[in-house]
Chain A
Amino acid sequence: MKHVNHTLEPEQGFLIGRQEGARLKELICEKLEQQEPCSVLELDFSKVEFVDVSCADELVVRVLARLQAGEFPNRFLVLRGLKPQHRENVEAALAVGSKAVYAQTETGWTPLGELISSYREALEAVDQKQQITARELFETMGYETINESSTKLSALYKLCLIGREPYRRPVRGGGRQFRYLSLLDP
């Protein structure tokens, strides 16, 4: 995965209001469009002092919605340098939009937002291995069926929390096989 940084540098460090968020959202989407597939855009909050819920909704949730809708295939978004004072408002916006995103907080990288615990566990396994197939996840996590493993990986991919690339030839019956990739740098 190729990582590209996009630092938010608002006037006086304050990101307030939907309007400003919408303006920045367009810039972020432009940047995502310019990236080659399998790229992760790191939205850097280190120069932001304060972000309100409306602005976080535009900057993060609505960009995620466009990513999940497939507007920028195989591009991903993570949040870097999230300070404790940003976290509550970003999480409030994610809760409203029912979205989840990887964020670098003071304690390290963690998925923020709505994500059921079994998905979180699967995500953790992907991050530990950096890349994983459905069979490998099935063996690691001790799921009952490979199908369960595939479903979880596929759901995490749709949520834009992991990437994927084709793996081996299609299996009998036409089903494609993928290797799933962590968005985090090793």
Chain B
Amino acid sequence: MNTQLAQRTFFIRARTAELNDRAFDQELLPQFFCLFHRRSLSNLERVVFDLRGVRWGNPYGALGVVLLCEVLRDYSPWELEIWLASAQQHKRHTWLAHLGLGQAVARLAKVKGQLEDEVQLATRYRYLPITALPSAPEGQVRLLKDVALHTYEILVNDFGYDAVQASRFITALSELCTNIYDHSAPRGQMRGFIAMQAYQNTVKFAVMDLGVGIPKSLRSRYGLDDAALLEKAFEPGVSACENRGLGLARVSQIVERQHGILNVRSGRAKILLLGRERHRTLYRLTQKSAFQGTQIGILLRRV
């Protein structure tokens, strides 16, 4: 009976206690790809994301789970379940609740063991919960304004950034979000998300989408391979749209200056920028490990 149950269920497990960039890229994604390379999918009935061991993480990891659920919902008939730790199990961590992971996936999957205190905080000052970028222009502006306001307050008041630096970062962040609208094909069917979390000396952002990805949108203009195109996207003025291309270039400058970390994954390439070391590593991914859209994680430190 148990064997049959096991055959009918596929588990994607977070094996470490921290649901962060590494957990998404090196644990969840490989398991996700394994699912599609199983010999027999015919008797599979459900996919379970077992996140009960997760105690901490960042917006990149949490948003990554939402993207995986979105893709599974699109391409599979299987029942989806997310198993989260309950508040009693991990009393001291409420970050998943504040990021609203349960709420974000509730429309896609059955959520079990949802954190009891999963409510929007009265003040969203330290967190911007996982938010889907709205498709209506009015909603987009409202969200961008909300994100800009909170980011500006945190960077200037808490993290000691000057107004020019904060303004540059907000401009770049808003361009990253706008890129999602511009580069989603077909237009009007874009799915993008943003989340932010400020904790102690760091503020972390994640911006992700299920669009065509950076290399594909730049290929018609620059005609290189995925890795070279992703590198090119870091140059000022490089964009699929005229008079744009400030997003990644500016974010990377600020990340370097503030000793932060930038992680960009799109198509068959990934770039990790370590600001403190001023070191950028380019990873070439195989076709098997390429994921849809673009996933961007940003970490900034207190000045």
State whether A89 and B167 are in contact (beta carbons under 8 Å apart), knowing that A14-B149, A19-B137 are contacts in the complex. yes
Which A residues contact B (CB, under 8 angstroms)? 12, 14, 16-17, 19-20, 49-50, 52-53, 83-86, 88-89, 92, 95-96
The complex places the Cα of A20 from the Cα of B163 at a distance, in Å, of 22
State whether A53 and B171 are in contact (beta carbons under 8 Å apart), knowing that A19-B138, A84-B163 are contacts in the complex. yes
Please name all residues of chain B whose beta carbon is closer than 8 Å to the beta carbon of A16 when the two chains form the complex.
141, 144-145, 148, 174
Q: How far is the CB of A167 from chain B (nearest CB, A)?
A: 40
Do A88 and B167 touch (CB < 8 A)? Answer: yes
Do B167 and A20 touch (CB < 8 A)? Answer: no
28 A-B interface contacts by CB (under 8 A): A14-B145, A14-B148, A14-B152, A16-B144, A16-B145, A16-B148, A16-B174, A17-B140, A17-B141, A17-B144, A19-B137, A19-B138, A49-B152, A50-B152, A50-B167, A50-B170, A52-B170, A53-B246, A83-B163, A84-B163, A84-B164, A85-B163, A85-B164, A86-B167, A88-B167, A89-B167, A89-B171, A96-B243
The complex places the Cα of A21 from the Cα of B174 at a distance, in Å, of 16
Nearest 5 A-B pairs (CB), nearest first?
A85-B167, A17-B141, A85-B163, A96-B243, A16-B145
Instruction: Name the interface residues of B139-172: CB closer than 8 Å to any CB of A.
Output: 140-141, 144-145, 148-149, 152, 163-164, 166-168, 170-171
The complex places the Cα of A89 from the Cα of B141 at a distance, in Å, of 17
State whether A52 and B174 are in contact (beta carbons under 8 Å apart), knowing that A14-B149, A16-B148, A83-B163 are contacts in the complex. yes
Nearest A residue to B250, CB-CB: A88
Q: How far is the CB of B145 from chain A (nearest CB, A)?
A: 5
Do A88 and B168 touch (CB < 8 A)? Answer: yes
The complex places the Cα of A17 from the Cα of B243 at a distance, in Å, of 16
The complex places the Cα of A170 from the Cα of B122 at a distance, in Å, of 71
State whether A85 and B166 are in contact (beta carbons under 8 Å apart), knowing that A17-B144, A96-B243 are contacts in the complex. yes
Nearest A residue to B156, CB-CB: A49
Please name all residues of chain B whose beta carbon is closer than 8 Å to the beta carbon of A84 when the two chains form the complex.
163-164
Across chains A and B, the number of contacting residue pairs, with CB separation under 8 Å, is: 48
Do B246 and A92 touch (CB < 8 A)? Answer: yes
Do A19 and B141 touch (CB < 8 A)? Answer: yes
Nearest A residue to B175, CB-CB: A53
Q: How far is the CB of A137 from chain B (nearest CB, A)?
A: 34
The complex places the Cα of A20 from the Cα of B148 at a distance, in Å, of 15
Q: How far is the CB of A75 from chain B (nearest CB, A)?
A: 28
Nearest A residue to B138, CB-CB: A19
Q: How far is the CB of A45 from chain B (nearest CB, A)?
A: 12
Nearest B residue to A15, CB-CB: B145
Please name all residues of chain A whose beta carbon is closer than 8 Å to the beta carbon of B166 when the two chains form the complex.
85
Please name all residues of chain B whose beta carbon is closer than 8 Å to the beta carbon of A49 when the two chains form the complex.
152, 163
Of A12, A16, A53, A92, which is in contact with the most chain B CB atoms at under 10 Å from its CB? A16
Instruction: Name the interface residues of B178-237: CB closer than 8 Å to any CB of A.
Output: none
Instruction: Name the interface residues of B97-142: CB closer than 8 Å to any CB of A.
Output: 137-138, 140-141
Please name all residues of chain A whose beta carbon is closer than 8 Å to the beta carbon of B246 when the two chains form the complex.
53, 92
State whether A20 and B149 are in contact (beta carbons under 8 Å apart), knowing that A52-B174, A89-B171 are contacts in the complex. no
Please name all residues of chain A whose beta carbon is closer than 8 Å to the beta carbon of B140 when the two chains form the complex.
17
Of B141, B145, B149, B152, which is in contact with the most chain A CB atoms at under 10 Å from its CB? B145
Please name all residues of chain B whose beta carbon is closer than 8 Å to the beta carbon of A53 when the two chains form the complex.
171, 246
Q: How far is the CB of A74 from chain B (nearest CB, A)?
A: 31
Do B171 and A52 touch (CB < 8 A)? Answer: yes
Please name all residues of chain B whose beta carbon is closer than 8 Å to the beta carbon of A89 when the two chains form the complex.
167, 171
Q: How far is the CB of B219 from chain A (nearest CB, A)?
A: 24
The complex places the Cα of A89 from the Cα of B250 at a distance, in Å, of 12
Q: Beyond A85-B166, A89-B171, list 6 extra A-B contacts (CB 8 Å).
A: A17-B141, A19-B137, A49-B152, A52-B170, A88-B171, A92-B246
The complex places the Cα of A85 from the Cα of B166 at a distance, in Å, of 8
Please name all residues of chain B whose beta carbon is closer than 8 Å to the beta carbon of A83 when the two chains form the complex.
163
Please name all residues of chain B whose beta carbon is closer than 8 Å to the beta carbon of A19 when the two chains form the complex.
137-138, 141
